[in-house]
């Protein structure tokens, strides 16, 4: 290397030992890419599951080095991220472009870390406060473009799962860690959805493929007003593609700051997928079951972080718990009307 990478994790909990380990890992990765640093390497989001290092290189310009502890890679199935990015990128979906190491591979195990590198997509992530039908519609078009390709993916051996058994599993693990929440009615109500015939039938009937599983504002890149990329496939798995439509419809139609559901945004988002939903016999009741199941998925994810930050956090204060009951009870007629207004016209 012509210049030592300067790792500057922004995580205030990082230790000097972690910083030195990170610096050595970045240096080793650059060496095996055949690249030389021409600027600082910065890690804005060093975490327990994945860490991203942004660095300027003489050969490629800015690149991202993404690392996962090998233990986490085994447990979470995150190597699927590499296969997903490779397949989607090769088939024209705008995702980060993976870089090859000097031996031709696109993934390396370095010590206790799994490492990939890619060229970041130019632009910025969307704002979560955009109350804009055109943005919601463009996001729906982008998702449907990805799903068309995702459904052509052929699994190779055991792929990570993320459907009903996965959601049940992470919920039970969560409740074992926080047994004081096991009596909360939310978990009983949400697990009843997961176990329902309606939910399991729609998953079985849905086309299978690469599920992004976190299709929302912060994972969409916009530049000059155009949505030109999808990032962060760390939660991706092989399963029922209808999940991505339900997750995206929820995230793009609820204004997070005030937790207000906007039917016009919901309709704009699902319109590009209307024909797909009709062709796969996904009616309102089926779609609602998938929507509610994913409220549980994200409630478990976010409640864990909230409780680590503040052990006094109440279950009912979580935004996905609130969304579950809004979609199940308060908004059920409005949700049905919006869904059927879009899909019935495509029947």
Task: Summarize pLDDT for 139-158 with one digit per residue, the tens.
Answer: 999 999 999 999 999 998 78
Residue 347 above 70 pLDDT? no
What are the chain's domains? 16-119 (3.30.200.20), 124-346 (3.90.1200.10)
The chain-wide mean pLDDT, for the chain, equals 89
**The predicted structure's pLDDT at residue 6:** 42
How much is the pLDDT for 285? 96
Tens of pLDDT, residue by residue over 123-136, are 999 987 788 999 99
Average pLDDT over residues 220-242: 94
Return the pLDDT at 240: 98
Structure tokens at 78: 């995150």
Q: Count Cβ neighbours within 10 Å for each residue of 229-263 and write b for 16 or more, e otherwise.
A: bbbbbbbbbbbbbbbbbbbbbbbbbbeeeeeebbe
| Least confident residue range of 19-23, 86-90, 167-171, 284-288 | 19-23
Contact 213, 147 (CB under 8 A): no
Residue 117, both tokens = 């590198």
Contact by Cβ (8 Å): 81, 95 = no
**pLDDT at res. 72:** 53
pLDDT over 60 (residue 335): yes
Q: With b meaning 16 or more CB within 10 Å and e meaning fewer, what string describes 274-309? A: bebbbebebbbebbbbbbbbbbbbbbbeebbebbee
pLDDT value for 61 = 94
pLDDT tens profile 211-223: 999 999 999 999 9
**pTM metric for this prediction:** 0.89
Number of H helices, E strands in the chain: 13, 13
Instruction: For the chain, give the percent of residues with pLDDT over 70.
Output: 89
Q: Give the pLDDT confidence of 33-92 residue by residue, as tens digits.
A: 999 999 778 876 545 567 889 999 999 999 999 988 776 544 445 689 999 999 999 999
Residue-level pLDDT at 58: 95
- Please check the confidence at residue 232 and state whether its pLDDT lies above 70: yes
Q: Are 166 and 237 in contact (CB under 8 A)?
A: yes
């Amino acid at each position: 290397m012509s210049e030592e990478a300067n790792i500057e994790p922004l995580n205030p909990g990082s230790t000097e030992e972690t910083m030195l380990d990170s610096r050595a890992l970045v240096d080793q990765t650059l060496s095996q890419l055949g690249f030389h640093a021409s600027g600082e390497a910065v890690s804005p989001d060093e975490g327990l599951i994945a860490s991203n290092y942004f660095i300027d290189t003489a050969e490629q310009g800015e690149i991202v080095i993404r690392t996962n502890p090998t233990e986490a890679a085994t447990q979470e199935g995150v190597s699927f991220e590499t296969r997903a990015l490779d397949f989607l990128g090769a088939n024209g979906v705008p995702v980060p472009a993976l870089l090859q190491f000097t031996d031709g591979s696109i993934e390396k195990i370095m010590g206790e870390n799994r490492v990939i590198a890619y060229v970041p997509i130019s632009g910025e992530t969307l704002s979560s406060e955009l109350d804009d039908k055109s943005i919601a519609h463009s996001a729906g078009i982008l998702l449907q473009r990805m799903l068309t390709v995702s459904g052509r993916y052929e699994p190779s051996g055991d792929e990570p799962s993320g459907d009903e058994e996965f959601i049940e599993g992470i919920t039970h693990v969560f409740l074992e860690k926080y047994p004081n929440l096991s009596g909360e009615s939310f978990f009983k109500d949400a697990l009843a959805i997961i176990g329902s015939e309606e939910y399991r039938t729609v998953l079985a009937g849905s086309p299978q493929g690469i599920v992004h599983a976190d299709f929302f504002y912060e994972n969409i890149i916009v530049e000059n007003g155009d949505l030109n990329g999808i990032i962060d496939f760390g939660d991706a798995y092989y399963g029922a593609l209808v999940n991505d439509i339900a997750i995206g419809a929820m995230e793009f139609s609820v204004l997070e700051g005030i937790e207000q559901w906007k039917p016009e945004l919901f309709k704009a988002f699902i319109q590009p997928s209307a024909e797909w939903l009709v062709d796969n016999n996904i009616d309102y009741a089926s779609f609602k079951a998938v929507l509610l199941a994913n409220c549980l998925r994200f409630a478990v994810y976010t409640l864990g972080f909230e409780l680590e930050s503040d052990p006094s956090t109440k279950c009912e204060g979580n935004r996905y718990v609130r969304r579950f009951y809004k979609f199940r009870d308060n908004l059920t007629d409005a949700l049905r009307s919006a869904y059927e207004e879009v899909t019935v016209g495509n029947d």
